[in-house]
């Protein structure tokens, strides 16, 4: 019997699980990277469940903001007291899972300490700095964050206003915020918790600006925790989500730090103020690639959670009676419901497998950078930027579709959708605003197109399609015979065509206006080219992953992967119809392929989402509970409301009671 079936479960969800045509445990192991990884997940889960220090006093939705910050801080200290329970070198896997079980979607004062502060120290300090700072950060004797974004500037790093002016007479940098818009704004943990930060500021030495550089800066006294003289900081207030984190602001008033506070692995300032530039201008991008690989996995996990909740709830919710007298049917039986939910499940799989690929590319990149080889850096940086943009956008839209699929109950915080959305949608703007990220990718694509036109291109596999000749028309004859190679070939055609369309538009504009104006006038088409570049990569990665799956799992997953590809093609059919590359009947065939995939997925949908291996502790959703006993759980959840502590609340005595009494006296 499946481990997901237990006595007392909702009968409908049990029936769904018994319909599985594959072994759910084997699918879970394949999704997460093997039996040993799955075993470790269960061990970590058992440990977290057995530790009372990790429990919330009541569901966090009923806590005030101050209580959420306090509860989160308590838990993260306990969690990091117990990191010997996980492989500390595997934050991408065990670390993220451990954190999600303990902290939920609220984040915490040490989020950026581990995601940005530590990796930046590891990646951008010289040996002496590493020896000084890394042990302190790992031991948590200091708590750090990463302060880059300002009130007036985020993604456009070249225009950051915070200055770090070198004074050779004292061998110090003077940090200063010359304007209000120079205030650092948004860093997690900056408001009240961190006492150090990596601060990105414009470096001035010998009267010249050398651009933005990172510095390690002490912000608070180590004993009193009060701000240092010359440092002003605090919390920025409530946000759409993640309100257990004290995101903060920071201003400097001619605050002095030692010369060695500048992170000097790649660029340096000598005691006399002489500046030594890095060997490669983008060597600092390695940390960004790492952070974005984490982001992509996190986004996939959140979309997977939303699809799990929607699928399970759709299996137990009965609504409508198509045949009078036969009783109401499961809403998962409606094709419209499947069309809303299953593509989100397919997206989640596609994004997760892409995250694994980017992680592996990052590890390869890191190895090559240690040997001075920067060849992969531009391509991987461009790909990770594009994935960050497309994945976070599609995840946000997908979560909302899953919420809507659950009707009115999806609007309740009991569903977890508000928390999931508030947590995930931030990814559209932090670590680079999405459209700006797409235009960064576009610069790389323009260069590749230019090299192809000149016949000098030597493009790596990710961009290799740009220099292909390709077919003039699609070779699709029927969905049944539509192979992986044909699907990829058709997507390559559209991606390649859009790249050259945007490139030609840019070149034409450059003949009449200044380069920056030409770029702006072409930016919409350039962003479209970047999206197609990323979609192509996502489809390729997903289909090739499924092609290598064990045969019993492949029989199921091929329909999920094809749904992802067909959904992209059918929703952008105009791109494929242009210049007769596809005929209308071929587009119709693909649309029918979407419905065919929905029908194939329907009988195994609940078991597919079970394969993601979400425990109720991680899912934190009443609607998505494993046992399917949703309605009893909703009523129980509501009892936590502070308004239910008494039968009569003070507003009756103060306002409603007198109002009604006065009205009755006048009748």
Considering Cα of 18, then 21, then 26, then 29, what sign does the dihedral take?
negative
Q: Which residue has the tokens 């492989």?
A: 87
Sequence-distant (≥ 6) Cβ neighbours of residue 159 within 8 angstroms: 153
Helices 484-510 & 434-454 angle (0-180, nearest 10): 90
Residue 381 to residue 73: CA distance in whole angstroms: 33
Token pair belonging to 588: 């119709």
Classified as helix, coil or strand, 653 is helix
Query: Measured between alpha carbons, how far is 523 from 502 in angstroms, rounded to an integer?
Result: 8
Buried b (16+ CB within 10 A) or exposed e, 295-333: bbbbbbbbbbbbbbbbbbbbbbbeeeeeeeeeeeebbbe
Alpha-carbon gap, residue 379 to 451, rounded angstroms: 14
Annotated binding site for FAD: 149, 188
Neighbours of 150 (CB within 10 A): 27
Distance CA 531, CA 435 (A): 10
**For helices 515-547 and 335-370, angle between their N-to-C axes, nearest 10 degrees:** 100
Residues β-bridged to residue 164: 175, 203
HEC string of 530-589 equals HHHHHHHHHHHHHHHHHHCCCHHHHHHHHHHHHHHHHHHHHHCHHHHHHHHCCCHHHHHH
Separation between Cα atoms, residue 135 and residue 303, nearest integer Å:
36
Residue 185 parent element (H or E): strand 184-185
Distance CA 155, CA 152 (A): 10
CA–CA separation, 344 and 556 (whole Å): 16
Count CB-CB contacts under 10 A for residue 36.
Answer: 10
Tokens of 24: 């759910």
Catalytic residue among 431, 492, 589, 618: 431
DSSP 226: P
Maximum Cα–Cα distance for the chain, whole Å? 91
Catalytic residue flag (residue 431): yes
Would you call 276 helix, strand, or coil by DSSP?
strand
Contact yes or no for 382/441 (Cβ under 8 A): yes
Rounded CA separation 492/495 (Å): 5
Write out the two tokens for 283.
């060597």
For 48, 313, 495, 656, the CA distances from 586, given in Å and listed in that order, are 52, 35, 18, 64
Residue in this structure with the two tokens 């039968």, named with its chain if needed: 647
Q: Which residues sit in the known binding site?
A: 149, 188
- Cβ 308 vs Cβ 612: under 8 Å: yes
Measure the CA–CA gap between 627 and 637, rounded to whole angstroms.
Answer: 15
From first CA to last CA, the distance across the chain in angstroms is 67
- The DSSP output letter for 620 is -
Active site residues: 431
């Amino acid at each position: 019997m499946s481990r997901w079936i237990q006595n007392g479960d909702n009968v409908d969800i049990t029936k769904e699980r018994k319909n599985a045509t594959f072994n759910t445990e084997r699918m879970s192991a394949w999704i997460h990277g093997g039996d040993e990884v799955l075993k470790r997940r269960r061990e970590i889960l058992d440990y977290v469940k057995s530790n009372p220090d990790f429990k919330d006093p009541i569901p966090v939705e009923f806590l005030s903001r101050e209580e959420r910050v306090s509860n989160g801080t308590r838990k993260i200290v306990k969690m990091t007291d117990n990191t010997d329970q996980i492989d500390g070198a595997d934050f991408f896997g065990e670390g993220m899972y451990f954190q999600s079980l303990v902290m939920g979607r609220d984040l915490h004062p040490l989020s950026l300490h581990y995601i940005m502060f530590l990796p930046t120290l590891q990646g951008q300090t010289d040996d002496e700095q590493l020896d000084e700072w890394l042990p302190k950060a790992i031991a948590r004797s200091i708590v750090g964050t990463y302060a880059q974004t300002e009130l007036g500037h985020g993604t456009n790093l070249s225009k950051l206003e915070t200055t770090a002016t070198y004074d050779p007479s004292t061998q110090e940098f003077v940090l200063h915020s010359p304007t209000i818009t120079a205030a650092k704004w948004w860093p997690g943990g900056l408001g009240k918790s961190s006492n150090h930060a990596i601060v990105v500021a414009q470096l001035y030495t010998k009267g010249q600006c050398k651009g933005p550089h990172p510095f390690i800066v002490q912000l608070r006294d180590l004993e009193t925790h009060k701000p240092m003289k010359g440092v002003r900081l605090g919390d920025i207030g409530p946000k759409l989500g993640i309100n257990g984190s004290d995101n903060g602001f920071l201003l400097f008033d001619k605050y002095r730090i030692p010369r060695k506070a500048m992170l000097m692995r790649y660029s340096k300032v000598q005691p006399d103020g002489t500046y030594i530039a890095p060997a490669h201008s983008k060597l600092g991008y390695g940390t960004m690639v790492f952070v974005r690989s984490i982001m992509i996995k996190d986004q996939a996990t959140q979309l997977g959670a939303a699809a799990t909740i929607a699928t399970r709830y759709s299996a137990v919710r009965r609504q409508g009676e198509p045949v009078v007298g036969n009783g109401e049917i499961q809403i998962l039986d409606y094709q419209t419901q499947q069309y809303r939910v299953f593509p989100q499940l397919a997206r989640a799989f596609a994004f997760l497998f892409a995250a694994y690929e980017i992680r592996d590319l990052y590890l390869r990149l890191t190895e090559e950078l240690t040997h001075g080889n920067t060849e992969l850096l531009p391509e991987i940086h461009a790909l990770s930027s594009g994935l960050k943009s497309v994945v976070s956008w599609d995840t946000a839209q997908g979560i909302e579709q899953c919420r809507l699929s659950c009707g009115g109950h999806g609007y309740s915080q009991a569903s977890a959708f508000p928390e999931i959305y508030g947590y995930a949608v931030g990814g559209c703007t932090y670590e680079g605003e999405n459209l700006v990220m797409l235009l960064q990718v576009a610069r790389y694509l323009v260069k590749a197109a230019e090299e192809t036109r000149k016949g000098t291109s030597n493009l790596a596999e990710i961009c290799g399609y740009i220099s292909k000749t390709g077919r003039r028309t699609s070779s699709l004859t029927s969905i049944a015979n539509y192979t992986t190679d044909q699907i990829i070939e058709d997507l390559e055609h559209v991606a390649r065509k859009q790249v050259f369309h945007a490139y030609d538009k840019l070149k034409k504009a450059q003949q009449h206006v200044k380069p920056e104006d030409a770029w702006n006038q072409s930016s919409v088409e350039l962003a479209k080219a970047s999206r197609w570049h990323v979609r192509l990569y996502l489809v390729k990665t997903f289909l090739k992953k499924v092609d290598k799956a064990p045969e019993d799992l492949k029989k199921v997953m091929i329909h999920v992967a094809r749904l992802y590809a067909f959904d992209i093609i059918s929703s952008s059919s105009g791109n494929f119809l242009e210049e007769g590359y596809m005929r209308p009947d071929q587009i119709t065939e693909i649309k029918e392929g979407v419905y065919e995939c929905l029908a194939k997925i329907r009988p195994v949908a609940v078991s597919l989402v079970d394969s993601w291996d979400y425990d109720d502790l991680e899912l934190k959703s009443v609607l998505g509970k494993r046992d399917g006993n949703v309605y009893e759980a909703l009523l129980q959840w509501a009892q936590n409301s502070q308004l239910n502590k008494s039968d009569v609340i003070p507003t009756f005595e103060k306002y409603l009671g007198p109002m009604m009494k006065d009205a009755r006296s006048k009748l």
